[in-house]
Amino acid sequence: MQSTIKIFKPFQRVFIEPPSRLKDVALRYKSRLLSLFLLPMIVIFLAVDSVYLATVPGYQPPWYGYIFLVGSYLLNRSGRYTIAALLTIAMFPIVVLASNITGEASNPLTILYYLIPGLILGGILLSIYETALFALIEIAVIFSMPYVAPNVIADLSVVIGPLSVMVISAVLVLVSMKARDQIEEDRQAKLRDSEERLRLALDAAQMGTWSWNIETGAVSWSEKIEPLFGMKPGEFDGKYETYLSLIHPEDLSDVQNAIERALANEDADYFVEHRIICPNGEVCWLEGRGRVNRNIAGKPVIMVGTVVDITDRKRADEALRLAEEKYRHIVEYAVYGIYQSTPAGKFLSVNRAMARIYGYDSTEEMLKSVTDIISQVYVDLSDRAEFIRVLESEGEIYGFEARNHKRDGSIIWVSSSARTVRDAREDILYYEGTVEDITDRKAAEAERERLMEELAAKNTELERFVYTVSHDLKSPLVTIVGFLGYLEDDIAKGDIEALRKDVERIYGAAFKMQDLLKDLLELSRIGRMMNPAEEVSIDALVREAVELTEGRLQERGVEVHIEPGLPIVYGDRKRLLEVLQNLIDNAAKYMGNQPAPAIQIGQRGLDGGKPAFYVRDNGIGIAPEYHEQIFGLFNKLDPNVEGTGVGLALVKRIIEFHGGRIWVESEAEQGATFYFTLSQKEI
């Protein structure tokens, strides 16, 4: 089909298409119809006459018919459609009359029927009134035959048949023309109504229409277009070049390229957005749309379309673009993480801060890596369930705190706030929210709680300390004051022996007070006056502590067993030596009547990731109700045993300062084991 059309297009362009001088669209249409009628008639007449010339001796072709046909065709092709149409229609009655009058018609009655095609052609090319007049002329021609050609048609009875057919044909042609005109009138009314509605729509849209005659270059604008270009009504001269001169220089090539694409491609429509410079110097934006109409040969003939002022839309788009860019910058450079995620648990978008919080190098990497928020992000899955429950029931959630996994597996604390985004049917589309890394805040809160607890404990300890100190210091002071009274009496009596004993008692009370004050001072220094931390061999430290307590051990006959290969720890060597020295000395002091006293020092695995050391004895043991009490100030299970009762409090303070803990496991009369932990790295 396409190939046939392509073959026919050159033929149409040469033999049928009217010349460009014929401007009226309706006349061009009728001119094509006339050419389509005349060409076949010429070909048919030539074929028929050729057959007659070959088969009928003495046949004379109707040369005058060729004059009409060829002459009408040439006049029509030269743009003189009206003359060609009248000549073609007049051909039928003239040829019929001439043929019968001259006697050249082989069948005079039959040739009268040739008037009917002329009537039909008249119905196509003429108006209804002109066709009615032409029908009367042809009927008159039939009536005149007995008078102008009596030698071939004797009377009217002979032409009754052709006359009847002519009358019936005239009626049918006129009725059909009337119906056609009525249909056309209705169509025109609908077209006018449609055009009016289109005009109203165009007015409402501030849109104008235009047409461009590609062959002549004439441009026609509707009344709305000139104001769009900042021109007064009637100021546009209708030239294509004038239109191009109104376009912004930077957009001119885009407009010309869009026009060329529409002209070159039958499937392409014209569309372009361009700027113009109005007479007031203001730059405005216009949108042009159009479609190319082509002739049957496919040649672009006319382009029609619309133009609308889109300046406000462009400004709105620019404002929206700037707002979106501003929002994007706010999101991208925000301190808090910002995200969108699906109810199924997949991130739709994240900003840079979000990726940074979770340890990713870019937003793209995080979106690609995190495919399941529930399992990859949340440490406690119940936190995610609670987060979604509140979010979906309340529509929003603020300050939800939970532990999350980072990319490297480490755990952070985050505070999340979010809301649900729903469609018109209230179905959840996605969640959007913010994330703040509150790990430091949580650590500070934990440290604050720890300090508060420590302060409360210290306050309690201080109260107990003040009470104990006032009590224990009061005792030697009472002793000193009492014996000073005895001293006065003994001096007065001159009792030298009693005087010597009084002085010994006063010295003993003073030394006891000195020891108490010394131990209290030592205890207060823990945490304030410490030596630089270093790697310390517990194995070597134990042996040094044993040497320092050698006198006590030998006095009690205590055998010490040290587990070989004790590990290295990190801490203040001098203070840790005090810990071991105090524990060993205490173990030796509280052996009781044990016939084979022994102390074992070693390690029992790990506790909280730290090595747990022990000092075990087989002495008098400690009842469970005293396991905590013994680490308090001045708490001595046996008041007869020498010492101030500060030693274990000092040990506990040193161990805790090193980040460890100390505890005792014992039963009465079954020995005691003191455990303590130390770190193997700097804390």
Find, among 473, 499, 472, 468, the residue nearest to 484 by Cα.
499
pLDDT tens digit string along 438-463?
A: 999 999 988 999 889 888 877 776 66
Q: Are 108 and 162 in contact (CB under 8 A)?
A: no
Rounded to 5 degrees, what are φ and ψ at 541?
-65, -40
Cβ contacts of 168 within 8 Å, gap of 6 or more: none
Cβ–Cβ contacts within 10 Å for residue 56, how many? Answer: 10
Characterize 17-54 residue by residue with b for buried, 16 or more Cβ atoms within 10 angstroms of its Cβ, and e for exposed.
Answer: bbeeebeeeeebebbbebbebbeebbeebeeebeeeee
Model confidence at 66, pLDDT cuts 50, 70, 90, reads: confident
Instruction: Name residue 43's amino acid.
Output: V
Strand partners of residue 291: 304
DSSP 247: B
CA–CA separation, 259 and 256 (whole Å): 5
Assigned token pair, 607: 């506790």
Model confidence at 479, pLDDT cuts 50, 70, 90, reads: low
User: Which residue in this structure is represented by tokens 């033999």?
Assistant: 15
Assigned token pair, 55: 């088969």
In order, the DSSP letters of 146-164 are HHH-TTT--SGGGGHHHHH
Bigger pLDDT: 148 vs 20: 148
Average pLDDT over residues 619-639: 75
pLDDT for 96 beyond 70: yes
Q: Are 581 and 548 in contact (CB under 8 A)?
A: yes
Alpha helix positions (H), 56-159 = 63-77, 81-102, 108-111, 115-125, 128-148
Average pLDDT over residues 219-232: 80
Average pLDDT, rounded, for the chain: 83
- Say what the pLDDT of residue 615 is: 94
Strand partners of residue 462: none
Bigger pLDDT: 364 vs 482: 364
Average pLDDT over residues 263-269: 86
Cβ contacts of 348 within 8 Å, gap of 6 or more: 339, 340, 341, 342, 430
Bigger pLDDT: 387 vs 56: 387
Characterize 556-568 residue by residue with b for buried, 16 or more Cβ atoms within 10 angstroms of its Cβ, and e for exposed.
Answer: bebebeeeeebee
Length reported for the chain: 683
Cβ contacts of 18 within 8 Å, gap of 6 or more: 27, 28, 31, 32, 35, 76, 77, 79, 81
**For 28-32, 58-62, 322-326, 512-516, which range has the lowest pLDDT when averaged over its residues?**
512-516
Average pLDDT over residues 86-100: 84
Percent of the chain surpassing pLDDT 70: 87
Q: Three-state SS for 59? A: coil
Average pLDDT over residues 63-69: 79
By CB atoms closer than 10 A (0-12, 13-18, 19+), residue 1 is exposed
User: Which residue in this structure is represented by tokens 């650590």?
Assistant: 443
Assigned token pair, 481: 């004051």
Side-by-side strand order, sheet with 672-677:
559-562, 598-607, 610-617, 672-677, 662-666
Question: 115-125 and 128-148 helices cross at what angle (nearest 10)?
Answer: 160
pLDDT for 468 beyond 60: no
Assigned token pair, 394: 């309340």
Q: What is the CA radius of gyration of the chain?
A: 60
